Amino acid sequence: MAEFLTLQSAVATYVHDGDVVALEGFTHLIPFAAGHEIIRQRRRDLTLVRLTPDLICDQLIGAGCARKLVFSWGGNPGVGSLHRFRDAVEHDWPHALELDEHTHAGLANRFVAGASGLPFAVLRAYAGTDVAAQSSSIASVTCPFTGEVLAAVAALRPDVTVIHAQQADRAGNVRLWGITGVQKESVLAATRSIVTVEEIVDDFHDDRNAVFLPSWTVTAIAHVPGGCYPSYAAGYSERDNDYYEAWDDLSRDRQVFEDWLEHQVYEQARAR
Amino acid sequence: MSVFSTDEIMTIAASRELAGARSCFVGIGLPSVAANLARSLHAPGLVLVYESGTIGAKPTRLPLSIGDGELARTADVVVSVPEIFNYWLQPGRIDVGMLSAAQIDRFANLNTTVIGSYDQPEVRLPGAGGAPEIASACPRVIIVMRQSKKTFVDKLDYRTTVGFGDGAGARSRLGMPGAGPCVLISDLGIFRPDPRTFEMTLTALHPGATVMGVRDATGWDLAVSGDLVETLAPTDEELEHLRRLHANSKAKATD
């Protein structure tokens, strides 16, 4: 059964240096508060996994938490570059960042294989691209029935997956809706999971189809209203597109970024 | 005739290519503008599909990201990311894919990964996203991008997405089900694959553009169709719809 913890103890207990950490949520429900807590607890040498690294991985990379990034599209959606990610790849700042990159379909299927308890997943993808040659987790496989050559992608099993959801009930069942991304697959593929939620409710009434993750599939739940800001939680908040646009300027300069980190992330801990 | 910008005619020409299409897998940026314009003008019933899993989205403003709340709220159905790629894109259920890129070569292969070498890039770009599978699986692919010697290159720095590979026969050798990029629209003209060589060939010039100008903005020895035509200038109605779409987006963004 999921245990209810503060975000601080959930991260302290379940995210360790050197872990493979998936932080999922496709534009919607991105677990920013948990990402900031990982930065505050100064975790190091993490392998971050996220289809769309978004601002959350930009922040973790700039803060020096990541050794490696497994991803499929690393931009600021609709705005442009992720400058901390680029600085790490182009100039090794704050240190070098190893990459394992995929397509969305490929990385999503790596989670599907992990959640399914299979060693790999099959899809029609990557043919003729340089992406396939770059990654040791992409190979090809011949269909035993038709002879078609298809892509095989290695199962991904994070040590811990972190997501944000709209609701948990008091038994620790988690319910989320709207754009659901790969959250279900990434939690079921992982050894441990942390779910931050907007609200804890008495029960979900008749809406049983929306019980997304039963309590016994989740390790820890933390009540963190607004924990996905500046992304959004359908039914609770709107995406702050202005923040995403402002991040473009803020993150360009190392010093400005470090000031942001000091005031918006580290000082929050001292204030606690 | 109204005055229009090269970006406007590019977007409008791209939206016309969607007339008759049932569904379109849409990327953010130029493709999203063209696809939303098409839905308001040339293809009213067009089902817009975004990789966030929103099928049949009907946004009234241009979304900033592929996962904006309005896409989910106005969609016919919202599915997970594995489902959108495995059940919907991979079997060829989405008619048209619309893409853009940082670099394109003569066979419409695309680079969205790096400028320079992979290990020591001059510019690290976002990467593949959904593009390789969109270009492989959709029955038709439309590419929209601004043209210069930096973007229309002789050799890609990285091949993220396959258009026609190394030319005739490449797609079937690679087992790609869709027909590939049927049209490339830039701010200078329109290019279609030669039916024999599959090299992208200039088939239409936008008003005001010249063959010499297009050649100067192309990094390879450009093939020009013997039946070169001029792109129809945007109608007042097309311009009005496009400008309203942009104005709506600006107005709502500041709400």
φ/ψ of residue B14, rounded to 5: -65, -40
Q: Which of B155, B103, B114 is nearest to A90 (CA)?
A: B114
**pLDDT averaged over chain B?**
95
For B32-82, the pLDDT digits (tens) are 999 999 999 989 999 999 999 999 999 988 888 888 889 999 999 999 999
Our CA-based measurement puts residue B80 at a distance from the nearest CA of chain A, in whole angstroms, of: 5
Tokens of A52: 């769309």
Q: Which residues contact A82 (CB under 8 A, 6 or more apart)?
A: A53, A54, A55, A57, A58, A74, A75, A76, A251, B126
Contacts of B133 in chain A (CB under 8 A): 103-105, 123-125
| Contacts B77 to A, Cβ<8 Å | none
Query: Which residues of B are designated catalytic?
Result: 51
Residue B253 in this model has a pLDDT that exceeds 50: no
pLDDT at position B99, please?
A: 96
pLDDT reported for residue A33: 98
pLDDT > 70 in chain B, percent? 98
Q: Do B123 and A86 touch (CB under 8 A)?
A: yes
Pair type for strands A149-154 and A174-175: unpaired
Q: Which of residues 114-173 of B touch A (CB under 8 A)?
A: 118, 121-133, 136-137, 158-162, 165, 170
pLDDT of residue A211: 65
Chain A nearest CA to B255, separation (Å)? 11
Chain B from 6 to 45: CB within 8 A of any A CB:
28-29
**B28 pLDDT above the threshold of 80:** no
Judge whether residue B166 has pLDDT over 50: yes
B69 touches chain A (CB under 8 A): yes
| Rounded distance between C-alpha atoms, residue B214 and residue B200, angstroms | 13
Closest residue on chain A to B249 (Cα): A241
Q: Is the pLDDT of residue B137 over 90?
A: yes
> For domain A3-102+158-261, which CATH number applies: 3.30.420.40, 3.30.420.10, 3.40.1080.10, 3.90.226.10?
3.40.1080.10
> Which ranges in chain A are annotated with CATH 3.40.1080.10?
3-102+158-261
Distance of residue A103 Cα from the nearest chain B Cα, in angstroms = 5
Taking alpha carbons only, the member of B22, B63, B64 closest to residue B39 is: B22
**Which ranges of chain A have pLDDT less than 70?**
206, 208-211, 270-272
Over residues B9-36, the mean pLDDT reads 94
Q: Which of B65, B110, B155 to mutate to test the interface with A (most CBs of A within 10 A)?
A: B65
Task: Name the residue in chain A with its Cα closest to that of B92.
Answer: A124
Which CATH code for domain B6-253?
3.40.1080.10
Per DSSP, the three-state class of B204 is strand
ipTM, two decimals: 0.96
Strands A220-223 and A192-201: parallel
